[in-house]
Structure 1
Amino acid sequence: MSFGEIDVGEVYKNDPSLKPDDVKSIADWAEKQPHLPKMDELQVAIFLQSCYYSNELAKVTIDNYFTVKTLCADIFGNRDPRDSAVQTSVNTVLVSLLPKLTPEGNTVIFFKLLDTNPDPYNFPAAIRCFDMLTLLHLHKNGPCKGLVIVIDMKGVVFGHLLKLSVVVMKKLMYYLQDAMPIRLKGIEFFNIVPFMDKILALMKPFMKKELLDTLYLHVDQESLCKRIPKDILPQEYGGSCESIHILHEKYKGLINDNADFFKYQETQVVDESRRPGRPKNMGDVFGMEGTFKKLEVD
């Protein structure tokens, strides 16, 4: 494709545990699923690697991924970089895959508010931008050994909490744990806020024990750096990475310059009318949403 995806041969070369025959087997299976969109070899390889080379788990994850993307168009749809919600989110929240890996070889994705005014903050749009950037990175650079999410909460106020939604949080946690083609190794919050307990109350009911065990809360950066080396972080945090300004410019460039990739992603949806057996709906995947709406923070 025109956005410059990595050659799948390089992916195999970088990861000898990833077997072309296994990828072909899953690709053949996907071709026979009438409800699934067309996938290329690289995309299948990314899913198989994210599932620790389990063919059966990869098949389930592929189906979950395309089903969630289709059912949750409010979060994952409209990936046009020119969309006002995307542009506003890009200028409100920094999302950056930092260039240096952790000592364990994991990739760090760094979040920070650029605009601390809660008015322009849009939770679903922020998720969309995170997903756009991460999937672009996987297709340009190949699978990550593991992904660690690091969130600087400086500037987060109660008004941001009011923008969160139990329903959207449930969908996000399902996607992260059961559908997104990544090995999520942990979530690290630092500069945590006094109302962190309320944010956790929205998250924890939908987190599996494996992810809960890798959730870390840090009062300040000093605590964070006991787990994430300072050198990995942006200049403003004493690290050797570029400044927040440069990271933001790169982030904007990646979003704005890859419209073809994001447009292609929008075409990859499930045709539920062709799914073998009974079509899936929102209730099948996420349960009855009505039981969660009463838990919304207001």
Structure 2
Amino acid sequence: MEKLPYHPLVIVTQEDLQKARELYGVQDVNSLRESLDILEKWLQKQPHLAEGSKYLSPANLERAFITAKGSVEETKRRLERMFTSRGMMPELCLNRTVEEFKDEWEVVNYVPLPKICPSDRSRVMVTQFLTEKLEKFSILAYFRLCFMVGEYRLNFDYTPAERFIIDFKNIHIGLLIKINPVVVKKAEVLCTEGIGTKIKGIHILNAPTFVDKIIHLLKQALREKLANRIHVHSTYEDLHKYIPKEILPKDYGGDEESCSKLSEKWKKLLRQEEARKIIQDTEKLVSDETKRHESKFNEEYMGMPGSFRRLAVD
């Protein structure tokens, strides 16, 4: 993929592409093409993956290879995880329509920032709570929205990592009863183990007085490595140490459009026919377990049963 497809809300420059490849030592274009061809043929020969793999975009396949540091065998494992985990957690990532998020969009903005973070080539996602009235907020619907936007975006993006900004400006303590650690845990597993996202940081802004209780709930669900990447910022200037002003929205002292304007653009885009088709195709990226020769994925890759059994909710 030498010529990047243009996308108005997912901007990737030629420099971004080259830097991402350099970061993981994937610079030989001929070798890259040969490896992707090997992976395509391998997918076609896997009875439980062959049908779903027809809907895997070239951008998605190449991204998986890049984040696997140019290892064909590791990419195979990542693709196996992605197809299988999506089928295991349909409540998070299947049977979605844009219309189902009407209520959720009245409560939150969830937007990827258009430009890639230059320091580590990560894509930054921003969550803003728009109102203190949380009756319409659902943690499950929120993650369904996140995965729908994210999986659509990966058809155009070329980033090896992601960062998340969560703005708690309008939040009250009632949010605590909305956070289900089991749902958070499943979302983390699908995001990091299933889709293969490398999360560089979770940045909390406008923290309420009870932020320690929120972080406690999150740390029950998240793995220690990721939990240690939660940062609470008392000022926007502190945030700028991690994410430069040039890519941040005006809301946080940056140069980019406001989150509200970006959110409206995303809503309009996702309602278009082309985006709906991509979302529908994404739904088919699941394994056919009836055709799998042997299935130990749940135990070997995800560790999900043990993780959920050990999860204590006070």
Counterpart in the other structure of 1:138: 154
> 1:24/1:203 Cα in 2 relative to 1: closer, same or farther (>3 Å)?
farther
**SS of equivalent residue, structure 2 residue 200:** strand
**SS of equivalent residue, structure 2 residue 197:** coil
1:1-298 equivalences in 2 (<5 Å) = 8-10=1-3, 14-15=17-18, 17=26, 19-36=32-49, 37-38=52-53, 39-83=56-100, 86-104=101-119, 105-140=121-156, 142-257=157-272, 258-278=275-295, 285-287=303-305, 291=309, 295=313
Task: Give deviations 1:184-217, integer Å, cap 9, x for gaps.
Answer: 2221112222332232233324444543443212
User: Which amino acid counterpart does residue 137 of structure 1 have in structure 2?
Assistant: R
Contact 1:167 1:289 in 2 (8 A): no
| Aligned-pair CA distance for 1:145 | 4.0
Contact 1:272 1:279 in 2 (8 A): no
Task: Return the alpha-carbon distance in structure 2 between the equivalents of residues 210 and 293 of structure 1.
Answer: 16
Counterpart in the other structure of 1:3: none
Task: Give deviations 1:37-66, integer Å, cap 9, x for gaps.
Answer: 223433211211222323222222212222
State which drifts further: 173-182 or 64-73: 173-182
State the aligned residue count: 286
Contact 1:148 1:185 in 2 (8 A): yes
TM-score under structure 1 normalisation?
Answer: 0.84
**SS of equivalent residue, structure 1 residue 52:** coil
| Aligned-pair CA distance for 1:245 | 2.6
In structure 1, list runs of 5 or more residues that go unmatched: 1-7
Task: Return the alpha-carbon distance in structure 1 between the equivalents of residues 202 and 61 of structure 2.
Answer: 26
| Aligned-pair CA distance for 1:241 | 1.0
> 1:52/1:196 Cα in 2 relative to 1: closer, same or farther (>3 Å)?
farther
CA RMSD of aligned residues (A): 2.7
| Aligned-pair CA distance for 1:292 | 5.8
Identity %: 25
Contact 1:75 1:128 in 2 (8 A): yes
| Aligned-pair CA distance for 1:112 | 0.7
TM-score under structure 2 normalisation?
Answer: 0.81
User: Which amino acid counterpart does residue 10 of structure 1 have in structure 2?
Assistant: K
